[in-house]
Structure 1
Amino acid sequence: MKGFEYLEKELDQMRQDGVFRSLVPLETDQDAVVSIDGRRVIQLSSNNYLGLTNHPRLKLAAVRAADQFGAGTGSVRTIAGTFSMHEDFEKQLAAFKHTEAALVFQSGFTANQAVLASILTKEDVVISDELNHASIIDGIRLTKAARKIYKHVDLNSLEEALQASSGYRKRLVVTDGVFSMDGNIAPLPEIVELCEKYDALIMVDDAHASGVLGENGRGTVNHFGLDGRVHIQVGTLSKAIGVLGGYVASTKAVRDYLIHKGRPFLFSTSHPPTVTAACQEAIQVLIDEPERIERLWYNTEYFKKGLQELGFDTGKSKTPITPVMVGDEKKAHQLSDKLLQYGVFAQGIAFPTVQKGQARVRTIVTSEHTVELLDEALEAFKKAGQEIGIITE
């Protein structure tokens, strides 16, 4: 069909530049070891931090919910699609996050869009870290509020933006709790202090901190002892929680407002019973099995140290997200491809996901990796890195 020649031209250029990537179908469940093209490979690219995607308790909860309540809900929440389990889960989430209320969305992406597009007007300003997640960036694009960008985790830059924004009705500072590509943690105590100093609201996207940081995985806010001092927490149910969705944890007023004004909530069918029941069970597993988080951090430190001893640059990561910095986009993908040959699935990440010249292979260990698997992966990194010339013998 004619009309898309301009797209084909751009795709051809991506192929020439060595950055065109195909989707990689997995043939097994999401575990520490998966099957790709009939081959056993060590999985180092999933967000399944705690192994909950195939936890027996979550699977059983999903099956029971489907049997009792059906495959879907048949409506949006505001018409006929709110089941008692949806509200029960939101109460459970609010208690877990130590907030007054919570509201669940179809994804963490839509949760960010809903908040930013609805609670701000042209009288307000949003102040965002320059490396915030794409969902925050897109949410800011949807708002009529003014916007200011501060340098990445730069408190002086943030304070300058706050000082320059005194004429607005409300100032909303937005930051990731853990930054998804670098694995570093936002200096949240200092950010909160600045927001309190300048009477600004603070919103934290804890997608990669949920289930990872804080007591039983409550996130960066709890990790830093800031419960009750952060106005809005956004999180995901599809990473460490292991299922699907996103949520906003805040006050009852914010919840009620988003029910009436949050377009992703208003115009999307609610989560099916299987998803909601599995998410409920996941939160309980976080409480019942804290050893999963302990194993996650042991594996993180072990693998990070191993990469560094081999000579790889792991950037500024302080979390299970451990980038292997390469720089060149084509070479990063070559490293990823070579690793797959040696039995390790670790995806290359390049522009536009990260800045040009900042390409890397991003790894995420989980609680389900054994030391033997991590040693096997490190050996693959050693061989691949030496062959491509990223490290020396």
Structure 2
Amino acid sequence: MSGSWPQRLAAHQSQRREQGLWRERRVHVRDAVDDFAGNDYLGLAQDPRVSQAAAEGAQRYGAGARASQLVSGHLEVHRRLEARLAALVGRPRALLFSSGYMANLGVLQALCDGTTAVFQDRLNHASLLDGAKLAGARARRFHHGDLDDLACLLRRSTSEAPRLVVSDGVFSMDGDVADVPGLVGLCRRHDAWLMIDDAHGLGVLGAHGDGCVGRAHGSDEVPVLVGTLGKALGTAGAFVAGSELLIEHLLQFARPCIYTTAEPPGVSAATLAALDILEQEPERREQLRAHIARFRTGAEALGLKLLPSTMPIQPLLLGDNARTLRWAETLRALGLLVGAIRAPTVPRGQARLRITLSATHETAQIERLLDALAELTIKEGRP
């Protein structure tokens, strides 16, 4: 594509609009809508105890950390948070990152190079795919959740190349959970390391809210475990948990950690409070499971085409971009906020409403959403 820079940008944007893939950023007034689009699965983002801890942490340590972790930005509150996160998931150590995206970029860039063979699930998060590209690794993608396909790729790889298998723990757009025991077994047989990004499982799954990996699979089975703090824990940032050797390696070589100002201390203090609530109030996870069951039962009665997810992520496949946007806008007008997900976030032809549930939703809110979906099916037919 030739022409000036403004012409190039305008042409790209025009094409995206024509394809029905244009995205808009809006200012959301949370009190004005029922939020079925966010990832606040346990309702901790607006818990007053978490907010109070954030304020007190900022007052004690300052609004910002002032420097990167290896300069002067690593504070006592960061040290305590890393220790709590490591204990939650049953690892020797944990290391904080500014976001899940940066954690995945940092890990893959630090572990991999042009000699590394990386095997990724086809539906992995963009940050995992981008991390392998940044590292220049020889990356192959296996069919989603297909262990036979992964086994075939592993058998074909040369024995000299270091091998790393990478998968989401819970897939953010489909809501299904990786077969972690199956992945562990394959990696053992083929002398590969396993990296799991459990962004959407942490806080929701596991006997302790420790996710789909957590204490059930130690560092010898899943050497690299990534978790985020801005979903079920309701704050911000991310961490990588693993062995002493792994964490020290990341401190030396993970550029997004080395060259980024450390996490604001108020955020770390808020996350510590969220971890207290996670530990002390397991009924939040029980309430969340009840909401998921209620919504799925209601959607099934309407004949809606939900993907088979037992997670708070409940994707409603509509297929058509225009229809997906139309349904999302109709729901928004009724005060119901849902995600309208289209390519490239999901494969073409698989546009969907990404409906997410929280422990703090009320039954009446879920029923109101189901009533609105019922009206849409009457008006436009079932998807």
TM class by smaller structure: over 0.9
The match for 1:75 is: 67
The match for 2:154 is: 162
Q: Is residue 335 of structure 2 the alignment partner of residue 343 of structure 1? A: yes
Deviation at 1:66, TM superposition (A): 1.2
| Amino acid paired to 1:226 | H
Q: Is residue 228 of structure 2 the alignment partner of residue 227 of structure 1? A: no
The match for 2:118 is: 126
User: Structure 1 residues 142 and 386, CA, compared in 2 at 3 Å: closer, same or farther?
Assistant: same
The match for 1:326 is: 318
Question: Contact (CA 8 Å) 1:76, 1:267: kept in 2 or not?
Answer: yes
Cα distance in 2 for partners of 1:325, 1:144 equals 35
User: Structure 1 residues 168 and 333, CA, compared in 2 at 3 Å: closer, same or farther?
Assistant: farther
Q: Is residue 363 of structure 2 the alignment partner of residue 371 of structure 1? A: yes
| Amino acid paired to 1:131 | L
TM-score, normalised by the number of residues in structure 1 = 0.93
Which 5+ residue runs of structure 2 have no aligned equivalent?
none
The match for 1:27 is: 29
Q: Is residue 207 of structure 2 the alignment partner of residue 215 of structure 1? A: yes
User: Structure 1 residues 327 and 3, CA, compared in 2 at 3 Å: closer, same or farther?
Assistant: same
The match for 2:109 is: 117
Q: State the SS of the aligned residue for 2:5.
A: coil
Q: State the SS of the aligned residue for 2:25.
A: coil
Deviations 1:338-385, CA, capped at 9 Å, x for gaps? 111222111210011111000000000100111111111100111123
Deviation at 1:246, TM superposition (A): 0.8
Deviation at 1:148, TM superposition (A): 1.4
Q: What number of residue pairs does the alignment pair up?
A: 379
The match for 1:31 is: none
Deviations 1:78-133, CA, capped at 9 Å, x for gaps? 11111111111111111111001100100011000001011123332111101100
Question: Contact (CA 8 Å) 1:215, 1:222: kept in 2 or not?
Answer: no
| Amino acid paired to 1:75 | A
Cα distance in 2 for partners of 1:16, 1:121 equals 39
User: Structure 1 residues 168 and 302, CA, compared in 2 at 3 Å: closer, same or farther?
Assistant: farther
TM-score, normalised by the number of residues in structure 2 = 0.96
| Amino acid paired to 2:29 | E
Residues 290-329 of structure 1 aligned to structure 2 (within 5 Å): 290-329=282-321
Deviations 1:241-293, CA, capped at 9 Å, x for gaps? 10100110111111111111000001110011111101111111110111111
The match for 2:249 is: 257
Deviation at 1:149, TM superposition (A): 1.1
Cα distance in 1 for partners of 2:378, 2:331 equals 11
The match for 2:198 is: 206
The match for 2:8 is: 6
Deviation at 1:216, TM superposition (A): 2.4
Deviations 1:40-81, CA, capped at 9 Å, x for gaps? x22100000001001122111111111111111111111111
Q: Is residue 35 of structure 2 the alignment partner of residue 43 of structure 1? A: yes
Deviation at 1:25, TM superposition (A): 1.2
Cα distance in 2 for partners of 1:11, 1:139 equals 26
Deviations 1:304-333, CA, capped at 9 Å, x for gaps? 221121111112322110000001111111
The match for 1:270 is: 262
Deviations 1:195-222, CA, capped at 9 Å, x for gaps? 1111111110000001110022101014
Once the two structures are overlaid, the 10-residue window that deviates more, 260-269 or 3-12, is 3-12
Cα distance in 2 for partners of 1:288, 1:160 equals 44
Tell me the percent identity.
Answer: 36
Cα distance in 2 for partners of 1:246, 1:155 equals 28
Question: Contact (CA 8 Å) 2:312, 2:356: kept in 1 or not?
Answer: yes
Q: 1:239 aligns with which of 231, 235, 240?
A: 231
Question: Contact (CA 8 Å) 2:208, 2:279: kept in 1 or not?
Answer: yes
Q: 1:143 aligns with which of 124, 135, 146?
A: 135
Structure 1 runs of 4+ aligned residues shifted over 6 Å read none
Q: Is residue 194 of structure 2 the alignment partner of residue 189 of structure 1? A: no
Cα distance in 2 for partners of 1:220, 1:360 equals 25
Residues 100-115 of structure 1 aligned to structure 2 (within 5 Å): 100-115=92-107
Deviation at 1:146, TM superposition (A): 1.5
Q: CA RMSD in A?
A: 1.4
Cα distance in 2 for partners of 1:3, 1:145 equals 31
